[in-house]
Structure formats: C-alpha cells, structure tokens
Amino acid sequence: MTNEINDPVAMWQKMVGDMEKGFNSFANQAMSSPEFSQVVNRAGGVAAGAQKQLGELMEKYLVTMNLPSREQVTALAERLQSIESQIGEMKSMLSQMAASSGISQGFDGAPKPPRTKRPPSENGDQK
C-alpha cells in the first residue's frame, strides 16, 4: 500500500486539496468585510448603469437601421406565448376528456398503472 509520504502523486493531490481549502478559507474571510461588499457593489452598479445605457443606444441604432425594435419582438413573443398556452390548454382538455370517458391513459397512450401500491414494510417485502 502506498502512503502519502512516499507517493509524489498523492503528495501533489494533497497539496492541491490543501491549497484549495486554504485559499477558499482566506478568500471567504476577506469577502466577509463590509469593504468588500462596498467595492463589489460599486463595481456592479457601474456595470449595470453601463448596460442600461448600451441597451438604449442599441435600440436607437435598430430603429435607424429599420430593424424591429425590442418592443415589437416582445409583442411577437407574447403572441407566441399566448398560442403556446392555448395549445397547452387544448392538450389538457383532451386529456381531461379522455379521463372522463373512462380511458385511463397517459399522454403517450399507455394505460396508467393502478394506484394501489403499499409500502414494502406493510407487505413484508424486502427493499
């Protein structure tokens, strides 16, 4: 049996593991300070502001290029979503009609198994 003291591969793996733990622990300590929160949030705020400005600029550009605006694409997406919902409702209605007509089957057409299972402990079965 190899042991860590004389196995360079095991030593390397242990070293990587220890470094990971050490760095994570050090970083977690550093990140628990209010200063860290302040710096990260300041940077995040700048990035969010820049993203908003860029978005507005892109929208103006698309209008100039006679391309559909974001609002028009969103309106199309909403119409598609409404069609999807209606198809879903129709599938659901068909399923309910099938169930009420006494056909006990799933979407795939296979009959549904009976809901009679008892836990193994009650049946004395082995797990």
Partner 1 sequence: MNAPTGLDFASIPERIQSEVQRAIQRSIKGVEYFSTSGPTLGSTPKDVLHSRGTMNLYHYRPMSDEIYRVPVLIVMATTNRGYILDLVPGQSFIEFLLKRGYDVYMLDWSAPRPEEKSLRMEDYVLDFIPDCVRRVQADSGEQDVSVIGYCFGGVLSLLYGAIHKDGPMKNLICFTTPIDFREMKLFSNLSDRRYFDVDRLVDSVGNVPPEMILSSFEMLRPASRTASQIQLWENIWNDEFVKSYRMFDRWATDTLPLAGEYFRTITKDLMWDNKLFNDTMSVGGRAAKLEDIKVPFLHAVAEHDHIVPYDAAKHLIAKIGSEDKEEVMLKGGHVSLVAGANAVKRLWPKLDSWLGTRST
Is residue 69 close enough to count as binding partner 1 by CB under 8 A? no
Considering the rule CB under 8 A, would residue 68 count as an interface residue with partner 1? no
Cβ-based neighbours of 39, under 8 Å, separated by 6 or more: none
Q: Number of residues in contact with partner 1, rule: CB under 8 A?
A: 59
For residue 8, what are the CA distances in angstroms to 2, 14, 17, 23, 70? 10, 10, 14, 22, 59
CB of 37 or CB of 60, closer to partner 1? 37
Residues 16 and 23: beta-carbon distance below 8 Å: no
Quote the tokens at residue 12.
Answer: 């390397």
Tell me which residues in 83-122 interact with partner 1 (CB under 8 A): 84-85, 88, 92, 95-96, 99, 106-108, 110, 112-122
115 CB burial (10 A radius; 0-12, 13-18, 19+):
exposed
Q: How many helices (H) and strands (E) does the chain have?
A: 4, 0
30-49 binders of partner 1 (CB under 8 A): 31-34, 36-38, 40-42, 44-45, 48-49
Residues that bind partner 1 (CB under 8 A): 2-3, 5-7, 9, 13, 16-17, 19-20, 23-24, 27-28, 31-34, 36-38, 40-42, 44-45, 48-49, 51-52, 70, 74, 77-78, 81, 84-85, 88, 92, 95-96, 99, 106-108, 110, 112-122, 127
